[in-house]
Chains A and B, each alone.
Chain A
């Protein structure tokens, strides 16, 4: 885990002092709202439907138990007792008072946290693999490079006023769990010649109004060249990006307008011109950062397999939890445990203060105080000894946190939607609740199998509807909330964008429509074939025919 040094702490304290003054000046009338708005946005503070919303950065989704406990404290003291995990591995508090924000930022700084780069046209919080440092299929810990990018991009004067926001994702494993194909720049750690490591770089992915799967920019970039190359990429974007048109300002539009080959050519020229200027970190600085992420020394802790087998056969819920919530760790005696904030009926990704505290306690007891936030709005305990799984399960169960199952139809990603968000067309949360209630029988959900269902309240796609195997998009149809359904999206390896199935549905018809789609899948699947594979094999037509036949 990266630990702040004195420089980081002083920087944050100065920044918080500055914002405290800005809030005071706003309240005293020395700043108008127009003057204040860009300042508050630089500190993660939005004004939403009912209140101010504070978005707090969780760099690459990595958080300690101490930090999580502090988030619980903030939820209880300054919000209505809960927070919301976001699809950028951050947390949002939805009921914040402007007058409290300087104190909240100070409380965050106490645990080395802040809300910088969670808004505005800058390089946003870098996302990464929530299994980083623990995954069995990892080549190198991606947090090292996510941290390098974070330090380079924080307050970078050249990239603080980009044409639009800019999102990075870094993954270091064989399986992409960071959706790198849907980022402005996606970085994949790969092996190179003679045992070296480097990066495969992707550019121009994204969701929103014009969704694109990222294209390959560079097949292999040596590690020592990362920052100068990224700087050249950003610089060409900064130069040509469409500042005149909000909808055309993202790098994905530029890359597609220029063509990736021409964009690459210009970047290479710029890179050759500037690579000696020193953006790249000296090797000892990379080593200093790398040292923060050194794998924890995990003692051998062989599990009692007889006890585990007995617990499994006595308790089908525990058995399911082991099957679905536990993932392989690189140490065979350990596992990665997912806590899905998704039991049927829960607003997806909402966590209460008490739950945050209970999970923090569990992390201390079973996962060396280490936790991760996933872009699917869940938490992960990355280093749990298999010998402790029964105890962990019981502890989480007592906290009401074993009812959510990752990867099933009930593990819905949903943005805040019209319940909170100023930009929304329609609500997301009640739709998610109605669907998860419909599929509440865990046995049935497991029979249906892997199915990613994502909901956004508007085309900005914070709920990743474009990459849901089933995607639901809220639209405004003559003043009423309607929902458009897409099929066939995928965020990971073999990424794709969903296709719109047909006319939209009113809210009350959405759960039956999903039921209908699932029905077509169940009737069409071959043995062991997951939803996406069936869809890719048979195409949209059978789904369309079944869904719209009655209309």
Chain B
């Protein structure tokens, strides 16, 4: 197999859990034994400004940043951030926008980031146990249950949307 790298870009606003969701994906891919790199910019972006985070995984990953127009998936948590980031996608790349999760479907709105990972999981080859490990490693124990539910909800939405 040639070295195919999967490129995922997460985008949203500070405080939405962008970094956390990219951590979970990176941990899941790492648990699957793949080479993984994950990169984002910290700092001023924490104060409610735009945040993006890049996750790349495959047999060998070199640069930690997803080159513009090479993202396979663009996962966006905030509708206003869709257009400004669309150019990161490669031709044929998949945009996952927050309207994939119906309003009011989540018990806790804060777990939108994890619900969106559930949607993404339908499109990636990572196994359920890898996702489970990623979620467990990156979230505090008291948050496991609500986030597992959010992930499962996202996965159902993803299946309905992409597997029909």
Q: Do A and B bind each other?
A: no
Interface residues of A (CB under 8 A from B): none
Interface residues of B (CB under 8 A from A): none
